[in-house]
Amino acid sequence: MLEIRKTTAADLNRVMEIYDIARGFMAASGNPTQWGDGYPVRELIEEDIERGESYVIADGDEIHGVFMFMQRVEPTYEKIEGAWLCDGPYGTIHRVATDGKCRRLFDLCVEYCAKVTSNLRVDTHHDNFPMQKAIERNGFTKCGTIYMLHDGSPRIAYQRI
């Protein structure tokens, strides 16, 4: 039985393994640049854990997935080519990754986050077709393009209300 819980410091090594697996999967599926080499870095995940914004999806003691969920303004989303469906308070899902052993973990992630807020945002790279499919399968609407603050690279922005 899969469950979602906050990530702990004890989970960090496994979480980083899952991000390594996800980077390999993305590169093999034609999306080698979204996370490139080494993203997300360990320090970023440590910050997510400290803020209580990192979550794991586990089957007992075995962690199969990880994601970040924040309920604060996402600075990257302040400017969009297009338009958000609404401007009210929202939750943002970031850094979703799995070890590939369980199917549809993003669906569980969305279900969990939707219990916290019905206004959800997420973005992904233009070459991340598996994630685009998962996002759209979960009822998100494509709203436009946002640009990453650290390097200016574009991402497809979605919202679900």
In sequence order, the β-bridge partners of residue 36 are none
Q: Which two three-digit tokens encode residue 104?
A: 């549809």
Distance CA 28, CA 22 (A): 10
Q: Tell me, what CATH number does 45's domain have?
A: 3.40.630.30
Domain extent at residue 132: 2-160
Three-state SS at 58? strand
Confidence of residue 103 (pLDDT cuts 50, 70, 90): confident
Query: pLDDT over 90 for what percent of the chain?
Result: 83
| pLDDT of residue 74 exceeding 80 | yes
C-alpha distance across the termini of the chain, in Å: 28
Kindly report the number of other CB atoms within 10 A of residue 56's CB atom: 19
| pLDDT of residue 15 exceeding 90 | yes
Q: Which two three-digit tokens encode residue 71?
A: 């309920």
110-156 confidence digits (pLDDT tens): 999 999 999 999 999 999 999 999 999 999 999 999 999 888 889 99
State how many domains the chain has. 1
Handedness of CA 100, 2, 12, 77 (dihedral sign): positive
Q: Whole-prediction pTM value?
A: 0.93
